[in-house]
Amino acid sequence: MSSAAYTARILTQISDVSASEWDALIPTSAEGSGNHPFLSHRFLLACEESGSVSHETGWTPRHIWVEDEAGKAVGAAPLYVKTHSQGEYVFDHGWADALARAGMDYYPKLQCSVPFTPATGPRLLSHTPEGRDATARAMMQACSEWDMSGVHLTFLTPEDRTALSALGFAAREDRQFHFINRDYADFDAFLASLSSRKRKNIRKERKAAQDGITIKRLTGDDLKDEHWDVFYRCYLDTSERKWGRPYLNRVFFDLMQQTMRDDIVLVMAFENEGAQNTGGRPIAAALNYIGSHALYGRNWGALVHKPFLHFELCYYQAIEAGLELGLPRVEAGAQGEHKLARGYEPVVTHSAHWLSHAGLRVAVEDYLEREREAVEHEVNILAEHTPFRKA
């Protein structure tokens, strides 16, 4: 793949380039960029080396790598050939069904994203508009040459949205709930910004969740293999109850311990019985990643049922950790209107889509126009029901 100024090649594994080469292309100017743990070479490498991302799991790596005429890298993108729509958090099953009814195949398709991770960040890794444009065009060329149904980029920054819009990608919107740090000194200062009723409810939930347990936040060298053993049991329990198949395997978390433990906050709950000798029996855990602009809540699970423990570990402990780290926000993953009452506010997320079939493209663009209006209307209504004190 080439143009007058740029040449693109396909990386069939992220290890085809070095960590320093890949990480050097991650933008640092965009909000949400900088130290973005999921775009790092070591995170993507762990996905592949563990086998969590592979042809067998329906995520075949086909990363884009763009160089200028002098051979200098100017752009890259995490790209995968997908044979299903799992692990993306932007749902296009209806589009696949529509094409199937017309007698055509929707899969395989191209997916530019971080596998299993609904966190906004750069996808066109470049420090210039020209590099982003060349990277996106390389994806479109690959889509055409490989006879794919389309190319999809999810959880986009404004810079990437601008580049993709100029190339005719259809824009899609969804919503998540994020905690916004308005210079709170600590959790009590955050509580003081809430209405009296909501403040009392959170205190009641935290008291109930913490009754009889000890909570620890572990990071860096405090993380041990035994903590990951417990976390993985918790992760499997949640996976089996929610969707039946865990995306990530145990080897992946071993690699997290080896290469990314300083980027992680693992929140664990221990029963107090026997705590004087053993620290208590671990009963639940929540995994968070540290970025330069956000704390990202990713996976959680519990080995016993305890009321409000999910809210405590995943939402309130994440807020406390984010405030201690001085981060502007906490992203607690996809979905979840229940986050609203716990101080997380609705925000719009963005994706972009190019479909090869002209008829499907027109129909989807029409649908997305109406969907965007509905999402923005919903976000506006939800924003009116945040728990904060009214002026």
- Check pLDDT > 60 for residue 274: no
Q: Are residues 254 and 129 in the same domain?
A: no
What pLDDT does residue 277 have? 42
Q: Are residues 230 and 153 in the same domain?
A: no
pLDDT (mean) for 257-286: 86
- Check pLDDT > 90 for residue 2: no
Dist. CA 31–CA 5, nearest whole Å: 29
Q: Measured between alpha carbons, how far is residue 352 from residues 137, 173, 376 in Å?
A: 14, 9, 17
Q: Are residues 162 and 199 in the same domain?
A: no
Domain assignment present for residue 336? The answer is: no
Q: How open is the CA angle 290-313-284, to the nearest 5 degrees?
A: 110
Q: Are residues 188 and 304 in the same domain?
A: yes
Tell me the residue range of the domain where 233 lies: 182-327
Helix axis angle, 358-383 relative to 93-101, nearest 10°? 150
Domain assignment present for residue 390? The answer is: no
List the alpha helices (DSSP H) in the chain.
19-23, 41-49, 93-101, 129-145, 158-166, 187-192, 196-210, 225-242, 250-259, 275-278, 309-311, 317-325, 358-383
What pLDDT does residue 334 have? 85
Q: Give Dmax (Cα) for the chain.
A: 70
Give 82-120 pLDDT, tens digit per residue: 999 999 999 999 999 999 999 999 999 999 999 999 999
| Four-CA torsion 345, 237, 57, 149, nearest 10 degrees | -40
Q: Are residues 281 and 136 in the same domain?
A: no
Q: Are residues 189 and 170 in the same domain?
A: no
Give 152-183 pLDDT, tens digit per residue: 999 999 999 999 999 999 999 999 999 999 99
Domain assignment present for residue 388? The answer is: no
Dist. CA 180–CA 344, nearest whole Å: 7
| Residue 312: CATH number of its domain | 3.40.630.30
Q: Measured between alpha carbons, how far is residue 256 from residues 50, 87, 311 in Å?
A: 10, 19, 24
Domain assignment present for residue 389? The answer is: no
- The total domain count for the chain is 2
Give 336-388 pLDDT, tens digit per residue: 899 999 999 999 999 999 999 999 999 999 999 999 999 999 999 999 999 99
Q: Are residues 282 and 373 in the same domain?
A: no
CB 123 within 8 A of CB 153: yes
Q: Are residues 205 and 318 in the same domain?
A: yes
Domain assignment present for residue 338? The answer is: no
Domain assignment present for residue 279? The answer is: yes
Q: Are residues 129 and 270 in the same domain?
A: no
What pLDDT does residue 164 have? 98
Amino acid in position 79: L
Dist. CA 383–CA 257, nearest whole Å: 38
Domain assignment present for residue 340? The answer is: no
Q: Are residues 162 and 189 in the same domain?
A: no
Domain assignment present for residue 332? The answer is: no
Q: Are residues 94 and 237 in the same domain?
A: no
Is-cis flag, bond preceding 108, omega within 30? yes
Q: Are residues 322 and 352 in the same domain?
A: no
Give 27-75 pLDDT, tens digit per residue: 975 454 458 999 999 999 999 999 999 999 999 999 999 999 999 999 9
